[in-house]
Structure 1
Amino acid sequence: MKILLYFEGQSVIGRSGIGRALEHQKRALASVGIKFTLDPNDEDYDILHINTYGPRSISLIHRAKRLGKKIIYHAHSTEEDFRNSFIGSNQAAPFVKKWLVYLYSKGDHLITPTPYSKKLLEGYGLNQPIAAISNGIDLKRYYPDSKKEQKFREYFSLTRNQKVIISVGLFFERKGLIDFVTIAKKLPEYTFIWFGDVPMFSVPPKIRKIVKYDHPKNVIFPGYIDGDVIEGAYSGADLFFFPSYEETEGIVVLEALASQQQVLLRDIPVYHQWMENQKNCYMGNSIEDFCLWISKIVEQEVPDLTRNGFRTAQSKSIMEIGRELKAVYQKVLGETFDTAIYQRVIK
């Protein structure tokens, strides 16, 4: 078989979780020997595996149908995770939902990252089979490396004893950015670093104000940073704190787990079934919860959960995702497929 992987708007959202998902798909397919192309003009393929939602995406879907190709829509987005992001996102959200339902209904099979997002899609009235397959994680890339950790500390001129809490995400209220800064004000003894970026004109004024100047001195917004510095930050910080209110998975959480870092999350439905408070992470629901957990984790007053977290990341390795994608592809093409794997992702 041969798969056409399609991703529209790389320059706009390529740095987001969806952008990294495409890279993971490429590696996952290569790991199980499945041929793929990224060229939308290539007609020699069996399945269109589409990741995005713009006008070129729908045009490619119509073309694939005319050619008699099978279509798998990768449902990375929902109405719920569109809210509280860009300017006007809440007003536009109901229309975005209608557009997403229209697009997703074109697929012969849907894939979405978690059982939670699968449940949301089923609530939209979509009737196709829906597989819950993680976006996966490249374990080798995020394995702790002392040289990368040193580059991270040098980049930010951190002292040996300076305690650091990091987060990674776009500048969205939904991501918990406001709470991140509020908590930093309450814990001035620690350094808080938020990695990520988004065009400032696209976010509400209150977010723009916080990022540009209305934050305490112990908060750093370095923008988008790739490579050794961010990878060193994941393992070299004292805590990964991700207070997001809504996710379809949260690739950055997998990256932190793979880095064998302590992880503190908001207790929201997307983590149910794979993240468990005080087992492979810590969870909170309020500013008070988070302040208490941060102090205890950073000062090593609670158990180290990094080993359990790493095991969770291992279960979502690139190769495992490759096997799961292969089972779905074979099912869609009417070929013999691994029933056990398919049943696991479809239930």
Structure 2
Amino acid sequence: MRVLLYKEMQNMLKVSGIGRAFRQQFKALEMNGIDVTSDKSHPFDLVHFNTVFEESFSFLKHAKRKGIPVVVHAHSTKEDFLNSFNFSKYIKHWFYAKLKNMYSNADVIITPSNYSKSLLESYGYIKCPIKVLSNGIDLKEYERDEKKVEAFRNHFNLKPSDKVVIGVGLLFERKGLHDFIEVARMMPEITFIWFGTLNKAMQTKVIKQAIENKPSNMIMPGYIAGDVIKGAFSSANCLLFPSYEETEGIVILEAMASRLPIIVRDIPVYAEFTHGKELLKGTSNLEFATRIQQILKKDTSVMTETAYQSVSQKDLILIGQQLKAIYEETIERVKNHDNN
């Protein structure tokens, strides 16, 4: 079995969760000895899409004409498209049509959470099986490494005594960046760092104003990969992720794998986690600030270890095994359908 992981707009998506998921899938499949390529000129037995735009849909139709099974990864929903970037509400119907084109023509859809599966089922036009499978995480990548911790603290000139709260994500209103900035304003004694980027023309008015008026204890270094960000996950005091809508949130998996205390907004996708068990939840900026103080004052080792044990079930090698099983079942099902 050779799998084509279809590659579209990866330069633009490399800093996004979808781009990261693509790279994770490639790695997970290779870990399990599966022949995987992103070169569409190679022969392949199944094609796996992560994007929904014109190039992907055109190639999907090409694959369907040849009887090649089609897997579509549903990273995006109608719900998480809104309140993202500037003008998103004006092009939502165009985007919804793209979702429908891809999702209604798949042989199987993979989505990262039970919550996102429930959203997809509510659309009414999806007739194929929908499988829930986490995007996964390479646990080894997030093991504590003092060199990475040092790279992070040196990059930001942090003293050993400095308290640090991090956030990660594109500069979307949906991600709650404006709330992150307001919490930073409430806690001037703590350094807040948000890792992420977005072209200024695509930022909403709310986000632009929030960034322009951010307090002096708030740092926005843009997109940073490698040792610095890995060191941040190992060295910060907590992750504050006040997103309003997610299908999973890979950053949560990264923090769990790093044993970093986590605060999230209490939204449906995180119903599988219990407040105080794997992470802390809040519903307002005041609650987020209170949760940060809780983390700074209490021993969180039991909570972070519980979170680590939870995310260990989503290690990439296990995700690759499950992907392989989905592929094999889909190939067999399409083959039997074509023979009937």
SS in 2 for 1:90: coil
Are 2:34 and 1:34 aligned?
A: yes
Query: Mean Cα displacement is larger for which, 26-35 or 87-96?
Result: 87-96
Comparing 199-208 with 230-239, which one deviates more in the overlay? 199-208
Give the counterpart of 2:294 among 293, 296, 315.
296
Counterpart in the other structure of 1:338: none
Residues 1:149 and 2:156 are matched in the alignment: no
- Secondary structure of 1:85 counterpart: coil
Would the aligned equivalents of 2:174 and 2:245 in 1 still touch at CA under 8 Å? yes
User: 1:39-78, CA deviations, whole angstroms, 9 ceiling, x for partnerless residues?
Assistant: 1222x11111111112111111111112210101111101
- The letter for the 2-side match of 1:259 is S
1:332 and 1:16 map into 2 onto residues whose CA distance is 28
1:241 aligns with 2:240: yes
Match of 2:279 in 1: 281
Q: Could you say which residue in structure 2 is the equivalent of 1:202?
A: 202
* Aligned residue number for residue 164 of structure 1: 164
In structure 2, distance between residues paired with 1:112 and 1:79: 14
Counterpart in the other structure of 1:225: 224
| Count of aligned pairs between the two proteins | 332
- 1:85-140: per-residue Cα shift (whole Å, max 9, x none)? 11111232243223201211111111011111111111111121000100000111
State the distance in 2 between where 1:150 and 1:51 align.
35
AA in 1 matched with 2:19 = G
Q: CA deviation at 1:302?
A: 6.0
Aligned amino acid, residue 285 of structure 1: T
**Alignment partner, residue 83 of structure 1:** 82
C-alpha distance in 2, partners of 1:106/1:119?
Answer: 18
Change (3 A) 1:303 1:256: closer
User: Structure 1 pair 324/302, CA: closer, same or farther in 2 (3 Å)?
Assistant: closer
1:107 maps to amino acid: A
Distance (whole Å) between structure 1 residues aligned to residue 248 and residue 7 of structure 2: 18
Aligned twin of 1:342 = none
Aligned equivalent of 1:331, options 281, 304, 329: 329
**Matching residue of 1:191:** 191
Q: Which runs of 5+ in 1 are unaligned?
A: 336-347
Look up the SS of the partner of 1:305 in the other structure.
Answer: helix
Shift of 1:12: 1.1
Deviations 1:261-292 (A, max 9, x none): 1111111111122x221111111111121111
The answer on whether the counterparts of 1:8 and 1:53 sit within 8 Å (CA) in structure 2 is no
**2-side partners of 1:187 and 1:7: how far apart?**
42
Instruction: For residues 273-323 of structure 1, give each alpha carbon's deviation from its aligned partner in whole angstroms, at most 9, with x where no partner exists.
Output: 2x2211111111111211111111023366651111111121100011011
Structure 1 residue aligned with 2:22: 22
Please list the CA deviations of residues 171-207 of structure 1 after superposition, one character each: whole Å capped at 9, or x if unmatched.
Answer: 0110011110111111111110000111111112331
- Aligned partner letter, 1:280: E
Counterparts of 1:146 and 1:299 in 2: how far apart (Å)? 24
TM-score, scaled to structure 1? 0.93
Letter of the aligned partner of 1:289 in structure 2? E
1:64 aligns with 2:63: yes
Cα deviation, 1:125-182, whole Å, max 9, x if unaligned, reads 1121000100000111111111111111110001110100001000011001111011
Deviations 1:6-57 (A, max 9, x none): 1210111111011010111111111222111101222x11111111112111
Unaligned runs of 5+ in 2: 334-340
In 2: Cα distance, 1:40 partner to 1:271 partner:
36
